[in-house]
Amino acid sequence: MVIPEAKEGKAEIWYTEYHTDDLKLSLRVKRFLHTELSRFQRIDVFESHEFGVTLALDSRIQTTERDEFCYHEMLVHPAMMTHPNPERVLIIGGGDGGAAREVLKHPTVKRVVQVELDERVVEVSKKYMPFLSASFSDPRHQLVIGDGFDYLENVTSEFDVVIVDSTDPIGEAKKLFTSEFYSGVKDSLREGGIAVGQAETPFLYPTITKGLYEVVKQVFSNVKLYLTFVPSYQSGMWSFVMGSDGKLEVDRATLEARYRERGLQTKFYNPGVHLGLSELPNFLKSLLGLE
Amino acid sequence: MVIPEAKEGKAEIWYTEYHTDDLKLSLRVKRFLHTELSRFQRIDVFESHEFGVTLALDSRIQTTERDEFCYHEMLVHPAMMTHPNPERVLIIGGGDGGAAREVLKHPTVKRVVQVELDERVVEVSKKYMPFLSASFSDPRHQLVIGDGFDYLENVTSEFDVVIVDSTDPIGEAKKLFTSEFYSGVKDSLREGGIAVGQAETPFLYPTITKGLYEVVKQVFSNVKLYLTFVPSYQSGMWSFVMGSDGKLEVDRATLEARYRERGLQTKFYNPGVHLGLSELPNFLKSLLGLE
């Protein structure tokens, strides 16, 4: 139910997220849709005036209706477009369905396996965020409820692209930022396969970004970090790390041809942005030891 | 004086900025340094735990010690680097001194005229933000206290680069977003001269960004919009518009040569970022009618 204006006085209802102990972002709430404590985390869904339907897990905004495209498109397409023919894709996490939606835009894809720990995130997303979760009904998509780390133990040379759409490295998600995990990811890749993981905000949490970059660099022959804008996320500056034993560099003409051939429809991603957001500011190059 | 912890209970002091009626960012305050109502606006300076010394004008963060480089470098260097030999530069606004500091890094510069409406901003910056305002004492720098709009009426073919470092288009700054103003800017430019202005956040205020883009496009033969990240600004996604009757495209090799020859030291800007952040996401291209 939409919260009506009071007849007298002024009171507003706000969702406030602490980005650090000293910095917080607040969204005015239009209506509360859902809250629960699942086996793994607190799941909140509310509609905010500025960002529309908003999903938060353990007090971190994961997805908003208004800016999820900035995140999901940039999580998925750089790796998918770098691969010449991604047929089989593994998504670890991403229970809201946004990553799967973007993967399934590529007509090369024959099969997507998604391993999500918390079934409740999927159920809640299906109910409140159909714009993200519709892809769960695509016949190419297979949902596995379980631990991504464990799942990888029994998988070898299976996937062309592995996408790690994790929450922050706290609690269960912590192990998704380790070299043990990325070694498993690497084993699950076919030749020329590419892994990508979300790497947090290098502005507010540079040690996390650098840590994941070092992990991926250690496991794969080639590594690449790139940025995107996500206004509802901490600092608005977000990063991703790609790793592969194949090459990660791809030229503009190739990207443009693939974008056309695959008939992609995107609101954020395009080949120019792919290349452009791989150009890192000096402070980030210094952080990563790239100069 | 740094605010000490209370002996009992818990209370924190926060600076909260409304980015829209429905979205706000809050910085925990370490100490208040200054507040006044000048002839033109309220000037606040405080030290925040997350962003260091912070300047706000009429309740809008203008500059923070921690992320001002993201803004000032990207306001100044793309235009300065696109010009082969910027000798005379005009800055309109920018009273904190950050834009002038970046301009003066270019050894080609012989003279910088800065026209700032509010002398108090300059004085406050000199006192509390010497890391920005040191350039005011550079012999090449001339400060004019006055109205940028009026100043342009008497200037013809004088500058190689004009930098418009304005506040949001409210009150006095409103006229700095009009074609009358940019016509004056154009008249003040020498042949091949380049103008650049901050164009707000295209994510939260797309009509302002588009409006300024259209103004600059109408006045100049060539126009170009590019982005930067500014974590303390609304949405974290900021834009700038360049205009010129000369060309605005410049290749990587040329930029790299100029960067080296001019001996620039930067924390955000580099030639790759210059080109990369000129690659616009699809939603922005659509907004600007670029596809």
Concatenating the DSSP letter of every residue in chain A gives: -PPPPPSSS----EEEEEEETTEEEEEEEEEEEEEEE-SS-EEEEEEETTTEEEEEETTEEEEETTTHHHHHHHHHHHHHHHSSS--EEEEEE-TTSHHHHHHTTSTT--EEEEEES-HHHHHHHHHH-HHHHGGGGSTTEEEEES-HHHHHTT--S-EEEEEEE---SSGGGGGGGSHHHHHHHHHHEEEEEEEEEE---TTT-HHHHHHHHHHHHHHSSEEEEEEEE-TTSTTSEEEEEEEESS-----HHHHHHHHHHTT---SS--HHHHHHTTS--HHHHHHHT--
Return the pLDDT at B164.
Answer: 97
* Binary contact (A280, B267; C-beta < 8 A): no
Answer yes or no: A67 catalytic.
no
Residue extent(s) of CATH 3.40.50.150 domains in chain A: 68-288
Where helices occur in chain B by DSSP H, the ranges are 68-82, 98-103, 119-128, 130-133, 148-152, 179-188, 206-219, 252-261, 271-276, 282-288
B23-63 tens-digit pLDDT: 999 999 999 999 999 999 999 999 999 999 999 999 899 99
**A contacts of B204 (beta carbons < 8 Å):** 231
- pLDDT one-digit tens code per residue, B86-116: 999 999 999 999 999 999 999 999 999 999 9
Residue in B229, B275, B278 nearest the CB of A229: B229
Q: Residue A188, by phi and psi: left (phi above 0), alpha (psi -120 to 50) or beta?
A: alpha
Interface contact A25-B20, CB threshold 8 A: no
Contact indicator for B201, B99 with CB cutoff of 8 Å: no
A243-270 CB burial, b ≥16 within 10 A, e <16: bbebebebeeeebeebbeebebebebbb
Q: Which residues of A touch B275 (CB under 8 A)?
A: 276, 279
pLDDT score of B11: 84
Beta bridge partners of A254: none
- CATH number given to B14-64: 2.30.140.10
Fold classification of A68-288 is Rossmann fold (3.40.50)
pLDDT < 50 stretches in chain B: none
Q: Which of A21, A22, A237 sits opposite B229 (nearest CB)?
A: A237
Residue in chain A lying closest to B50 (CA):
A22
Instruction: State which residue of chain A sits closest to B48, comparing Cα positions.
Output: A22
Task: Supply the pLDDT for residue B8.
Answer: 80
Among A21, A26, A27, A280, the strongest candidate for a mutation testing the B interface, having the largest count of B CBs within 10 A, is: A26
Q: Do B204 and A237 touch (CB under 8 A)?
A: no
Residue A250 confidence (pLDDT): 97
Q: What is the predicted pLDDT for the residue at A1?
A: 63
Residue B1, pLDDT score: 63
The CB-side HSE value for B106 (13 A sphere, CA atoms) comes to 29
For B184, how many CA atoms within 13 A lie in the half-sphere containing its CB? 19
Per-residue pLDDT for chain A (291 aa), expressed as one digit of tens each?
677 777 788 888 999 999 999 999 999 999 999 999 999 999 999 999 999 999 999 989 999 999 999 999 999 999 999 999 999 999 999 999 999 999 999 999 999 999 999 999 999 999 999 999 999 999 999 999 999 999 999 999 999 999 999 998 888 889 999 999 999 999 999 999 999 999 999 999 999 999 999 999 999 999 999 999 999 999 999 999 999 999 999 999 999 999 999 999 999 999 999 999 999 999 999 999 997
E strand or H helix at B93: strand B88-93
A40: closest CA of chain B, how far (Å): 29
From the candidates B118, B160, B165, B168, give the one annotated as an active-site residue.
B165
A69, A204, A276: residue with CB nearest B276 = A276
- For CA atoms B266, B271, B274, B276, the dihedral sign is negative
Residue in B50, B69, B235 nearest the CB of A23: B50
As annotated, the residues of chain B forming the CATH 2.30.140.10 domain(s) are 14-64
Give A-chain residues touching B236 at CB under 8 angstroms: 229, 231, 235-237
Q: For residue A91, which of A107, A69, A108, A75 has the smallest C-alpha distance?
A: A75
Partner-chain contact B280 A266, CB within 8 Å: no
The active-site residue out of A165, A168, A187, A245 is A165
Q: Which chain A residues contact residue B16 at CB under 8 A?
A: 26
Measure the CA–CA gap between B235 and B238, rounded to whole angstroms. Answer: 8
Q: Does ipTM surpass 0.85 in this model?
A: yes
Question: What was the pLDDT predicted at B83?
Answer: 98
